[in-house]
Structure 1
Amino acid sequence: MKEMKELTSLNMIEDFVQENPMSFLYVSRQECSVCHAVLPRVRELLDHFPDIRLGHIDTNAVPEVAAAYSIFTVPVLLYFIEGQEVLRKARFIHFEELAEQIEKIYGLNQ
């Protein structure tokens, strides 16, 4: 399963996105059952993309992430290339569609 870094401040999040050419943020909340169900599938999917680094943010620990990244619901998946958001998915995730979209973007940046 994909290694995941816990990001516990807005500065850590911003540094993570800037320091990794391909970064993927998983934003969730402790009491969100959908979040707990989606996370293992995201980690499994990202195993196929070794250059993407995965970071996890709990909105209870970093509430300011909502305003900084315009997050209105959880879970939210954000994919960044060179610090620019290129893909966003929220709440109910269609994994086949997500995999195809990541594959296209990932392939263009190899």
Structure 2
Amino acid sequence: MPYPSTYPPPPNGPGYCPRCLEVVIWATTVNRRALAVDPERDPKGNQAVRQDATGRWLVRQLTRERPVPEHDEHLHMPHVATCKVPAPPKPRRPAAPRHRRGVRPNPRWGR
């Protein structure tokens, strides 16, 4: 019997971008990560989006092995590429000074 997942399920379906509050579609990747895509179809997009029989939105990246959308997939642009609000900069950790903690004894010193 498999153990229950410790992570909540990713958001799925229509929703809003948390930064710019535009309407997006939250789709699930193969690795069960949430990816926001623009709701309008875009021939320049690189994400193939489809909706399965249970109503979940699934997305995959176009690759060299599968470069075109398949039978029920449509091209969409990832929202991170078109979001008008830039991502906040990641805080830099201050560089910790390297302290010497001790000296490894050299076996030749004991001669």
Which structure is larger by alpha-carbon Rg, 1 or 2? 2
- Which one has the bigger helix percentage? 1
* TM-score normalised to structure 2 length: 0.23
* TM-score normalised to structure 1 length: 0.23
Greater relative contact order (CA < 8 Å, ≥ 6 in sequence)? 1
